Amino acid sequence: MLTLSARRCVLSQRKSPLNSTRGHCDTAPPDVLDRVRTLLQLCADRYYISPGESNSELFRRGWSCSYGPLGVELRRNLLQQWWHSVTGSRAWVFGVNTVSSSPDREAGGARVIESERFQQILDQAELSREQLIQKLNRLLLSSPSVRTSLLQGALEQFAPSLEMVNKKLPFGLAESGLCFQPSDGSGCSAEVTQTSLVWFCSPRSSSQWLDHWARHRLKWWRKFALSPSDFSSTEVPENELEEKTSRGVKILYKFPWGLESLETLGCRGDAELLQTYKGIRTKLQTRDGRKSIPHVVSVSGNMDRGAMAFLSNSLQQLRTEDGKKRLQQRKVLKLHPVLAPVKVALDIGKGATVELRQVCEGLLQEFLEAKISAWPGYLEAVPTSLELLNAKYDEMGVLFTVVIGEKTLESGLLQVRSRDTTVRETMHISEIRNFLSKYISAADKF
Amino acid sequence: MLTLSARRCVLSQRKSPLNSTRGHCDTAPPDVLDRVRTLLQLCADRYYISPGESNSELFRRGWSCSYGPLGVELRRNLLQQWWHSVTGSRAWVFGVNTVSSSPDREAGGARVIESERFQQILDQAELSREQLIQKLNRLLLSSPSVRTSLLQGALEQFAPSLEMVNKKLPFGLAESGLCFQPSDGSGCSAEVTQTSLVWFCSPRSSSQWLDHWARHRLKWWRKFALSPSDFSSTEVPENELEEKTSRGVKILYKFPWGLESLETLGCRGDAELLQTYKGIRTKLQTRDGRKSIPHVVSVSGNMDRGAMAFLSNSLQQLRTEDGKKRLQQRKVLKLHPVLAPVKVALDIGKGATVELRQVCEGLLQEFLEAKISAWPGYLEAVPTSLELLNAKYDEMGVLFTVVIGEKTLESGLLQVRSRDTTVRETMHISEIRNFLSKYISAADKF
């Protein structure tokens, strides 16, 4: 349940910059600000997002930002899992793709306007004030408007899809893609990578389907979590429901600064379908014998915020003592094996550098062919201690670190260190690929 | 080589609608129009693109359009293959993600403008003509501009990436995403799913790297082709080079209506990097000892047109005789096994429908778990002849059709038909999943 204080926190959070989150959430522990800063710093240092304050702020708000290579891979993995889970969950869920801007979709919202044509009109000195306004209005209305969600596109795909499913309900249309959020006036782009499942079903079953998908989605989020209880679902109170929605459920994540919504589900009735097809009921009729129009259940997620939720969820901070009994803080990004952007890092120990690098090159190729994403640490020239190296890879969330040393050249044996257990094992070079493949696919199935 | 007549054809093609392609290309056979119509009709009938003339036209122009489930899956497969081939080809190619609109990227081009704010300014009756123009200009300049390519984003990621690669050249940044084409004034959205590899290397090696990547890319396109010779590469003539580009290569595909460019490669020197970093050379210095600024080799592809190229390339029209010796035309979409959106269709033959469907359900789940994309044909109630069914699946490009019949209930044996050989084999139900997995992964490696 979204408690009142938590709801206040979400609301205040939307307007307030990072520095003012402390104090707003009465449920938040005093070290909130530290935890947020640590998370954002780690994400920038370890190639999840590009450095820079304004980029971190986009990221924290749950918007699409400049991602570094690890962030890109994390979001790719997440989107891929979502796609498989939604299109693979039922026989009749189909993927669609609609264009992000369209000439006649919405009257309001944002539009893509050609600067040159705009400028040309402003430059026409012979135009009176009224003529100028008229021309500009025409330009505005003829410019394509950008989508704020994937719902409308899916509704437009309903009729063409009916034939494919032999006019039978229920069925669903899935899509992921970029959507534009209404600007906050800062000139700051607000793009979000949304996922959408639009489910068409009979009117009497729509509430049950809402429950079905809410359970399905919460289970999915929790599957990849280190602390599953940070993900929750809540019924949207009646007075907070969107227009045209008779029931709603939200999947929430407990960020250090409060609860935020990752996915929104709603029973939307038939009004929007009818509106899309200009009330022509014959276009919407299905085979179920009755004359009723299908009802729509929408499931809409924000995968930029989703990626951030898993980063936040998987960051563990452990206090350990080093060799000289000094207290140190170890940060580990314990991302789920399926989501972790780098599965294995390859490094060299002491020994003949040229030969060791050749072994690494060969092993890297093997990993790439098996589609195991690998980090070529052996290319970094800066000599670093194994301790520092492990700390770095732990912060990157690298599942395993392989060190190739003199022994490997002699006997084919190498050292494999696990992120989660910190245990070092000795393994033969011929076994490592299979070991990793099996580890990852076992984690996918649990 | 792009011959003169072919080039004329590409140019004329850009302006002319579908109906006027005939006659423009002196190299085109007389049945060009038929072949184009057949291709577009098949794509709409078989769920690759949504029906409708304007949507077909977007598709034919090589722009992003409304895709049906098979088109979505085809483009997904294509993008995935591109990603693996580029990021997996070298140790130092990293994926990045940049935002599609940014407040200060380009002066010209298109911008995302909030309709409401625009309208508010127009409605202010107290403003003089000059004040109005001033306010509108300010709104225009403060609105984020949308990207037309992924290059600028990658250049901005150069400096943050330098540390990651230990300041060593060469390295590359890969990205795929939506870009907006300058509008043709129709109010028609022109979005393209672009792929981009921006390769940073030493000035003296850039021409060799261009050759390397041109070979790499052509080989990649041909890998998935039925007729590899329809894909070609050509050096861009000096007088057609883009500004700031000293050498260029294009990967072309021979569509029925003429040659079109799928991917463009160029040696772009260091001017754009310097411009992006406002001439601050210290930000761009690498470890190679010299004081030179890295040179940029760009590789930019259009994956919407790429998907269409593979559809066009794989459509085979065969004349066959039916049982009554009537001449019939069989259309088969011989998409590469890795690209084919549906690997297997599941249908039922004669027998107890309820039991047969249960077997299908079980098998479908097995396929989905193994990430083998399957088509639940057994859910379609309309009884159809096996011949019509095969014709439909051939047009969809489905690799194998599995028919579950009475025999399956008795002995576990089922019929598997191959799209490419049209041969029917009997197989035990326990073997089918492994058979398909092996078939697909073998095709991936050839």
State the ipTM, two decimals.
0.88
Q: With contacts defined as CB-CB under 8 Å, which chain A residues touch B165?
A: 379
Give the amino acid at A291: K
Q: Does B123 touch chain A (CB under 8 A)?
A: no
CA distance A79 to B321: 47
Claim to verify: residue B154 and residue B216 sit in the same structural domain? yes
At residue A403, φ and ψ (nearest 5 deg) are: -115, 120
Q: Is residue A208 part of a domain?
A: yes
When divided into structural domains, chain A yields a total of 2
pLDDT of B37 higher than 90: yes
Tell me, what's the pLDDT at A353?
83
The answer on B249 and B377 residing in a single domain is no
Within B323-437, strands assigned E span 327-333, 344-348, 374-375, 400-404, 413-418, 424-428
A72-76 average pLDDT score: 96
Residue B168, pLDDT score: 87
Residue closest to A334 by CA, chosen among A361, A349, A315: A315
Is the same domain home to A164 and A296? yes
Q: Render pLDDT for A374-400 as a digit per residue (tens, 0 to 9).
A: 998 888 766 678 888 999 999 999 999
Last residue of a domain, one of B311, B329, B362: B311
- Of the candidates A229, A223, A249, A238, the one whose C-alpha atom is nearest the C-alpha of residue A301 is A249
Least confident of A179-183, A242-246, B303-307: A179-183
Interface test with A, best of B89, B102, B113, B357 (most A CBs within 10 A): B113
The CATH code of the domain that includes A422 is 3.40.50.800
**The predicted structure's pLDDT at residue A188:** 56
Inspect the interface and report whether the beta carbons of A72 and B96 lie closer than 8 Å.
Answer: yes
Residues of chain A neighbouring B176 (CB-CB closer than 8 A): none
Residue B123 lies in a domain: no
Chain A: closest CA distance from residue B439 (Å): 16
| Mean pLDDT on B424-440 | 95
Task: Retrieve residue B203's tokens.
Answer: 């000035």
A4-56 residue pLDDT tens: 333 333 333 333 334 333 334 445 566 888 899 999 999 999 999 999 999 99
- For the stretch A151-189, pLDDT in tens is 999 999 999 898 888 888 999 999 999 998 876 655 555
Q: Write the pLDDT tens digit of every residue in B394-416.
A: 999 999 999 999 999 999 999 99
Interface contact flag, A115 B109, Cβ < 8 Å: yes
For residue B10, give the 3-state DSSP assignment: helix
Q: Is residue B1 assigned to a domain?
A: no
Residues A109/A145, Cβ–Cβ less than 8 Å: yes
Q: Is B336 left (phi over 0), alpha (psi -120 to 50) or beta?
A: beta
Domain co-membership, A142 together with A273: yes
Check if B105 contacts A (Cβ < 8 Å): no
Judgement on whether residues B305 and B420 belong to the same structural domain of the protein: no
Residue A409: is its pLDDT beyond 70? yes
Is residue B93 located within the same domain as residue B222? yes
Q: What is the pLDDT of residues A299-327, one digit of tens each?
A: 999 999 999 999 999 999 988 776 677 77
Query: Which residues contact residue B187 at a Cβ distance below 8 angstroms, ignoring those fewer than 6 apart?
Result: A103, A142, A143, A144
Q: Nearest Cβ partner of B96 from A67, A132, A180?
A: A67
**Over the Cα atoms of chain B, what is R_g?**
26
Give the tens place of pLDDT for each residue, B61-118.
Answer: 999 999 999 999 999 999 999 999 998 877 689 999 988 877 665 556 788 888 888 8
**How far, in Å, CA of A304 to CA of A151, rounded?**
18
* Together in a domain, B54 and B199: yes
More confident residue, B349 or A412: A412
Dihedral pair phi/psi, residue A319, rounded to 5°: -95, 125
Domain enclosing residue B427, as ranges: 342-445
- Same domain membership, residue B146 and residue B64: yes
Per-residue pLDDT tens digits for A329-377: 889 999 999 999 999 999 998 877 889 999 999 999 999 888 899 998 8
> What are the two backbone dihedrals, phi and then psi, of residue B218, each rounded to the nearest 5 degrees?
-60, -45
**DSSP state, B294?**
P
* Residue B20 belongs to a domain: no
B430/B364 same-domain check: yes
**What is the percent of chain B with per-residue pLDDT over 70, rounded to a whole number?**
88
* Sequence-separated contacts (24+) of A155-159 with Cβ below 8 Å: A155/A198, A155/A272, A155/A273, A155/A276, A155/A296, A156/A98, A156/A276, A156/B66, A157/A96, A157/A98, A157/B50, A157/B66, A157/B68, A158/A200, A158/A273, A158/A276, A158/A277, A158/A284, A158/A294, A159/A277, A159/A283, A159/A284
* Residue A304 located in a structural domain: yes
Q: At a CB cut-off of 8 Å and minimum separation 6, what does A431 contact?
A: none
SS (H, E, C) A229-285: HHEEEEECCHHHCCCCCCEEEEEEEEECCEEEEEEEEEEEECHHHHHHCCCCHHHHC
Scored b (16 or more CB within 10 A) or e, A358-397 reads ebbeebbebbbeeebbbbbbbbbeeeeeeeebbbbbbbbb
Residues in chain A: 446
Entry pTM: 0.89
Say if residues B28 and B256 touch (Cβ distance below 8 Å). Answer: yes
Residue B201: beta bridge partners?
A: B295
Find the closest chain B residue to A183 by CA distance: B114
- pLDDT surpassing 50 at residue B288: yes
| Mean pLDDT, range B290-297, rounded to an integer | 87
Q: Does B179 touch chain A (CB under 8 A)?
A: no
The pLDDT tens digits of the residues spanning A48-72 come to: 999 999 999 999 999 999 999 999 9
Q: State chain A's mean pLDDT as an integer.
A: 87
* Rounded mean pLDDT, B330-336: 95
Between CA B210 and CA B299 the distance in angstroms is: 9
Q: Is B7 helix (H, G, I), strand (E, B) or coil?
A: helix
**A66 and B188 in contact by Cβ < 8 A?**
no
B130 inside 8 A of chain A by CB:
no
Q: ∠ CA B353-B358-B362 to the nearest 5 degrees?
A: 145
Give percent of chain A with pLDDT exceeding 70.
88
Strands B231-235 and A231-235 turn out to be unpaired
Q: State yes or no: pLDDT of B252 exceeds 90.
A: yes
**B118–A140: do the CB atoms touch at under 8 Å?**
yes
A293/A374 same-domain check: no
Q: Which helix (H) or strand (E) holds B267?
A: strand B258-269
Question: Quick one: pLDDT band at residue B14, thresholds 50, 70, 90?
Answer: very low
Is residue B21, in this structure, part of any structural domain at all?
Answer: no
Residues 352-371 of B with CB under 8 A from A: 361, 364, 368-369, 371
B441 CB near a chain A CB, below 8 Å? no
Q: How far apart are CA B411 and CA B427, in angstroms?
A: 10
Which residue would you say has higher pLDDT here, A431 or B30? Answer: A431
Interface check A405 vs B, CB under 8 A: no
Q: Are residues A43 and A188 in the same domain?
A: yes
Judge: B132–A137 Cβ closer than 8 Å, yes or no. no
pLDDT band at B186 (very low <50, low <70, confident <90, very high): low
Contact criterion met (CB below 8 Å) for A403 and A414: yes
Residue A5 lies in a domain: no
Q: Is A442 on the interface with B (CB under 8 A)?
A: no
Residues β-bridged to residue A316: A332
Q: Are A230 and A306 in contact (CB under 8 A)?
A: no
pLDDT in the model for residue A384: 76
- Print the SS3 string covering chain A: CCCHHHHHHHHHHHHCCHHHCCCCCCCCCCCHHHHHHHHHHHHHHCCCECCCHHHHHHHHCCCCCCECHHHHHHHHHHHHHHHHHHHCCCCCEEECECCCEECCCCCCCEEEEEHHHHHHHHHCCCCCHHHHHHHHHHHHHHCCEECCCCHHHHHHCHHHHHHHCCCCCCEEEEEEEEEECCCCCCCCCCEEEEEEEEEEECHHHHHHHHHHHHHHHHHHHHHCCCCHHHEEEEECCHHHCCCCCCEEEEEEEEECCEEEEEEEEEEEECHHHHHHCCCCHHHHCCCCCCCCCCEEEEEEEEHHHHHHHHHHHHEEEEEEECCCCCEEEEEEECCCCCCCCCCEEEEECCCCHHHHHHHHHHHHHHHHHCCCCEECHHHCCCCCCHHHHHHHHHHHCCCEEEEECHHHHHHCEEEEEECCCCCEEEEECCCHHHHHHHHHHHHHHC
CATH at A169:
3.30.930.10
- Residue A183: its pLDDT value, please? 62
Q: Which pLDDT does position B322 carry in this prediction?
A: 67
Q: What is the mean pLDDT of chain B?
A: 87
Q: What is the pLDDT of residue A12?
A: 35
Q: Is A100 on the interface with B (CB under 8 A)?
A: yes
Q: Residues B164, B247: one domain?
A: yes
CA of B181: which chain A residue's CA is closest?
Answer: A114
Kindly report, residue by residue over B376-395, the tens digit of the pLDDT: 888 876 667 888 899 999 99
Residue A117 is assigned to a structural domain of this protein: no
Give the residue-averaged pLDDT of A188-195. Answer: 84
Q: In what order do the strands lie in the sheet with B258-269?
A: B93-95, B171-180, B191-201, B295-302, B258-269, B247-255, B231-235
Three-state secondary structure along A301-366? EEHHHHHHHHHHHHEEEEEEECCCCCEEEEEEECCCCCCCCCCEEEEECCCCHHHHHHHHHHHHHH
Q: Of B291, B311, B331, which one is at a domain's C-terminal end?
A: B311
Nearest CB partner across the interface for A91, out of B165, B379, B382: B379
The angle formed by the CA atoms of residues B405, A287 and A173, to the nearest 5 degrees, is 85
